[in-house]
Amino acid sequence: MAFLTHFPVAPIHHHSSSLFTRFFLSPKPKTLLVLSALSSPESVATSHFSSTSTIIPSSSPEILQEISLPEETPLRIAQEKLFIPPETEISSEKPPRILRGSNIVLSKYARDAQVISADFVKSSVETEACPSDGSPEFALVGRSNVGKSSLLNSIVRRKKLALTSKKPGKTQCINHFRINDSWYLVDLPGYGYASAPHELRRDWNKFTKDYFLNRSTLVSVFLLIDASIPAKKIDLEYASWLGQNKVPMTIIFTKCDKRKKKKNGGKHPEENVQDFQELISEYFEGVPPWIMTSSITNQGRDEILLHMSQLRNYWLKH
């Protein structure tokens, strides 16, 4: 519990409309089915885009061509560690289709996963000042230097979009980007600046926490964690705070292309991914969804978009 001192626990807050509340409460399967989430290119294609046409995104042929396929260590995931969206049945007759490099099962809500337009809308200094049109949104947050700007640009396929929020004065704001004129990607201030004065850090915590707890259109926080290094205390604090406050969260592991083992006991991204999940598991009622990504190879880009689409479409319907 020591690492919670910096980021005190607020009263448990229930998002009544939260789809994650349902996700978390879905019963855990008793049987242990071992599945491969990171598999060969051929089986990736099969597992992503086979069976019913409702799930296949209109962009699937393009996605199949564009997905880069770096060498991946097969990662085996027990069924109880999968994130199973609501209204998604899995059984031995109907094996789940898992997004590559993640623990996320694809649901019938995965569609419209392409970015056609992306526009910077506004920077807000408080939750009340954020856009009020009711569109669903996803907030990206992470330690400074985790690769947030790179990922944001990779998602929207633009080199400079996120730079708008890196301008002086904008880094401490809630920055809204409108995607396809129907939903938002939100860039939140990075945390853990070693040089930030204590006062500034405290204000920032208050400001961001208010957004997490009170933004009714927030579908999920995307917490970015650098998978090329072992878990940092501040990342664990952040994840545990989100978990304990029942703020819907998806973990985005960044820099998964950095595969070289460091001499002094450094670990591969897959090992850091496993370690991080174990360290935070006690703070979550269910298994949080996670995706491994790289802005260099674009690994995880299409998976993030498919996951966002299924969360968004479910949220819109309920």
Nearer to ligand GDP, 60 or 153 (CB): 153
Among the listed ranges 106-114, 129-137, 194-202, 289-297, the one in contact with ligand GDP (CB under 6 A) is 289-297
Among the listed ranges 137-145, 193-201, 203-211, 260-268, the one in contact with ligand GDP (CB under 6 A) is 137-145
Q: Which residue's CB comes closest to ligand GDP?
A: 147
How many residues bind ligand GDP (CB under 6 A)? The answer is: 16
Q: Could you say which of 39, 294, 309, 313 contacts ligand GDP (CB under 6 A)? A: 294
158 binds ligand GDP (CB under 6 A): no
Nearest approach, Cβ of residue 140 and ligand GDP (Å): 9
Q: How many Å from the N-terminal Cα to the C-terminal Cα in the chain?
A: 36
Provide the CB-side half-sphere exposure for 305 (13 A, CA): 26
182 binds ligand GDP (CB under 6 A): no
Question: Which residues make beta-bridge pairs with 191?
Answer: 143
Contact 256/30 with Cβ under 8 angstroms? no
102 binds ligand GDP (CB under 6 A): no
Q: Could you say which of 57, 136, 190, 248 contacts ligand GDP (CB under 6 A)? A: 190
Q: Could you say which of 137, 235, 257, 270 contacts ligand GDP (CB under 6 A)? A: 257
272 binds ligand GDP (CB under 6 A): no
149 binds ligand GDP (CB under 6 A): yes
Structure tokens at 264: 């002094």
296 binds ligand GDP (CB under 6 A): yes
Nearest approach, Cβ of residue 270 and ligand GDP (Å): 15
3-state secondary structure 109-173: CCCCCCCCCEEEEEEECCHHHCCCCCCCEEEEEEECCCCHHHHHHHHHCCCCHHHHHHCCCCCCC
301 binds ligand GDP (CB under 6 A): no
Among the listed ranges 5-13, 47-55, 117-125, 294-302, the one in contact with ligand GDP (CB under 6 A) is 294-302
Secondary structure (DSSP) of 42-59 = HHHHHHHH-S-TTTS-TT
Q: Could you say which of 255, 301, 307, 312 contacts ligand GDP (CB under 6 A)? A: 255
Q: Please give the C-alpha separations between residue 103 and each of 191, 211, 274, in angstroms, as whole numbers.
A: 26, 27, 11
Q: How many other β-carbons are positioned within 10 Å of the β-carbon of residue 131?
A: 16
269 binds ligand GDP (CB under 6 A): no
Contact 154/99 with Cβ under 8 angstroms? no
Nearer to ligand GDP, 146 or 308 (CB): 146
Q: Could you say which of 63, 84, 146, 252 contacts ligand GDP (CB under 6 A)? A: 146
Among the listed ranges 10-18, 118-126, 235-243, 254-262, the one in contact with ligand GDP (CB under 6 A) is 254-262
Nearer to ligand GDP, 112 or 270 (CB): 270
d(CA 36, CA 76): 5
Residues near ligand GDP (CB under 6 A):
142, 144-150, 190, 254-255, 257-258, 294-296
